[in-house]
Structure 1
Amino acid sequence: MATTTPWAPKVIRPEDIGTDASGAGLKEHLHSLDLEAMLVEHKALVWRGFGIARAEFDAVVDALLPTRWAYRHGNSPRTKVGDNIYTSTEYPAEHTISMHNELSYAKRYPSRLVFYCEQAAATGGATPVVDGAAWLAALDDEVREAYRGGVRYRQNLHGGHGFGKSWQETFETDDRAEVEQFLAGTGAEWEWRDDDRLRIEQPGPSTVVDPRTGTEVWFNQSDQWHAASLGDETAKALAAIMAEEDMPQSVAFADGSPIPAEYVIQVRDRGLATAVDVDWAQGDLMVIDNVLTGHGRRPFTGQRRVLVAMAG
């Protein structure tokens, strides 16, 4: 009986492509690469052993993403450190970040992400990546069917003081008109509330079919937006002071009905179980197709600094 080789990102080293172990060598290689074809075939590409310095990274990322997106409408805490270059999500080191496709809750999401390791953790800190088709296949039929109609994301963004992110941070502006212009083309419903708060509801799919391959992949962030992902004690504490729909972020099925906690826990756990860990050394680089693959973060010790850029 034939066996199927488990999926894993394609790893490329200087000796594999006959080039110098340097940022200049990698940049020369990237200019000759059909990146789109490589990503469709492999879904994720990792360049190891090039020892790219932070001063070289901008030139390298220019070769990969000549036009980069700002992290607008993003819900995770990050620091902008360059020309639309950001730190990876700044959650406490002891926590796992579950698998997700970047900005899958937004109408406009990037097709590619670039990750660069400026400083590797002392231990742990891998970036797990998951084949979205394998993630979908790992779910129970009951869960896949329940999600078939899609989901509805809710955000409550304060105006500068409050729990969670402000709308100014989220949209990188303090101009209400600019926020409204951005949201107008997204299919979202929004409402300005008292105390300069902004409420947004955004419909989204549970899966998408990649037009290049015809592959259906899991594509939503319901497990990260659901109160169950906070853990029992945190969820209970928040429920005691506010309704779920008033939390900084929450999610329901597209028709507004609640998503059972056991469904989102299954989605979270099976995504992580199906993922392949990409361990980091200083100077490593990874590019992923943000539709065909999801990504996350394993816990770590010490200092870890991974930078991210994205583009359509």
Structure 2
Amino acid sequence: MNRQSDWQPLEITAESAGVPATPAGLMEFISDSSRIDEMLVREKALVFRGFGVDTDTLDPVMDGLLPNRLAYVHGNSPRTKVGSNVYTSTEYPSELTISMHNELSYAHAWPSRLLFFAAQEPTTGGATPVVDGVAWLEGLAPEVREAFAGGVRYVQNLHGGRGLGKSWQDTFETSDRGEVETFLKGTEAEWEWLRDGGLRVTQVRPSTVRHPVTGVEVWFNQSDQWHPAALGDDMAAELAQILPEEELPQSVRFADGSPIPDEYVVQVRDKGLEAAVDVDWHTGDLLLIDNVLVGHGRRPFTGPRRILVAMSD
């Protein structure tokens, strides 16, 4: 683990836990769910190392750490489902950085926990940076925090099977329009079916939230990841110049409909990465994070890196 701030995740080994260095030893340690709950709120992120967990022994560990494993419904990042509500981490070009974010912070509901598992460590790089949401918020200039105080408006254009970005079928894990509408009716979102078979979803969400247990206020939105100025991806930036904003796969403005200045989202992106602590991966490692208290991202890498992720409420 690379220390870049005063806070860092708590690393738990068989020795520190007082259990055998085996999957069964890890199961023994996490069987006290109240202790894990308290540790996670206090430490914000937990790294489990050296327990010899592999894909064959992963499921019971996930069941122990994620009380109610959730499907990645309404998720906007490209992933592959590989098991019972288990997914690959975001499938994004390996040479690019994925900036800091809280999973599904743009949605009406989000997971409270994320669990990452290193099925295959990368050859080089590929750390998962994690950032304390309080530090991220406090690192932003006062004028930026004030500008975002009213919230943000996200717009998704989901194609119907062919087009840019994700389809609505992949996003909602169904090809039934009725199921999609039933889901969206409970999210305070606005939506419309487009003539080309696509779906446009508009949502107004807060820029910060308070943790349900500690009450601390944290930065909690994905404005920089939805804004072309902060993408850091030449192809995406070029796309934003070619297509009108209302036709982009995703876009963002302030809640009142006014544009977010480029320099604001660049500051949000950069301050999150600057405050982050890198969790380096070794095959078999697990990382459990409180998805409200902690944002996460990904550093560039080489080699066959394979990180699996699951989430719970």
* TM-score bucket of the superposed structures, by smaller chain: over 0.9
Following the alignment from structure 1 to structure 2, what is the Cα–Cα distance between the partners of residues 76 and 112?
Answer: 17
Alpha-carbon distance in structure 1 between the residues aligned to 2:219 and 2:65: 25
> Which residue is equivalent to 2:185?
184
Q: Within 5 A, what are the aligned runs for 1:235-274?
A: 237-274=238-275
Q: Which secondary structure state, in structure 1, belongs to the residue aligned with residue 257 of structure 2?
A: coil
The answer to which of 8-17 and 208-217 deviates more is 208-217
Q: Indicate the residue corresponding to 1:37 in structure 2.
A: 38
TM value normalised by structure 2: 0.96
Q: Does the 8 Å contact 1:227/1:235 carry over to 2?
A: yes
Q: What's the CA shift string for 1:91-121, capped at 9, x where partnerless?
A: 0100000000000000010000001000000
CA contact (8 A) 2:75 2:104 kept: yes
Q: Distance in 1 between matches of 2:303 and 2:86?
A: 23
Seen in structure 2, the aligned counterparts of structure 1 residues 232 and 279 have a Cα distance that, compared at 3 Å, is closer
Equivalent residue number for residue 279 of structure 1: 280
Q: Deviations over 1:206-249 (max 9, x none)?
A: 00111311211000000000011234854553244311121000
CA distance in structure 1 between the aligned counterparts of 2:111 and 2:236, rounded to whole angstroms: 30
Does the 8 Å CA contact 1:228/1:235 hold for their aligned counterparts?
no
Match of 2:163 in 1: 162
Query: How far apart are 1:28 and its partner, in Å?
Result: 1.1
Deviations 1:111-139 (A, max 9, x none): 00001000000000000000000000111
Show the counterpart of 1:22: 22
Q: Give the whole-Å Cα distance in 2 for the aligned partners of 1:264 and 1:48.
A: 35
How far apart, CA to CA, are the structure 1 residues paired with 2:234 and 2:110?
Answer: 32
* 1:289 and 2:290 aligned: yes
The 5 A counterparts of 1:1-312 are 6-33=6-33, 34-231=35-232, 233-234=234-235, 237-312=238-313
Of 171-180 and 238-247, deviating more is: 238-247
Unaligned runs of 5+ in 2: none
In the TM superposition, what whole-angstrom CA distance separates every residue of 1:122-158 from its partner, at most 9, and x where no partner exists?
Answer: 0000000000000001111111110000000000000
Q: In angstroms, what is the RMSD of aligned CA positions?
A: 1.2
Q: Which amino acid aligns with 1:190?
A: W
Conserved 8 A contact 2:169-2:175: yes
Assess if the C-alpha contact under 8 Å between 1:227 and 1:244 holds in 2: no
Kept in 1, the 8 Å contact 2:224–2:231? The answer is no
CA drift at 1:279: 0.4
Task: State the 1:66 CA deviation.
Answer: 3.4
TM-score, reference length from structure 1:
0.96
Taking the aligned partners of 1:23 and 1:133, their CA distance within structure 2 comes to 33
TM superposition shift of 1:39: 1.2
Q: How many Å separate the matches in 2 of 1:7 and 1:114?
A: 19
User: Is the CA contact (8 Å cut-off) linking 2:228 and 2:237 kept in structure 1?
Assistant: no
In 1: Cα distance, 2:263 partner to 2:102 partner: 21
- The letter of the residue matching 1:254 is A
**How much identity, in percent, do the aligned residues show?**
66
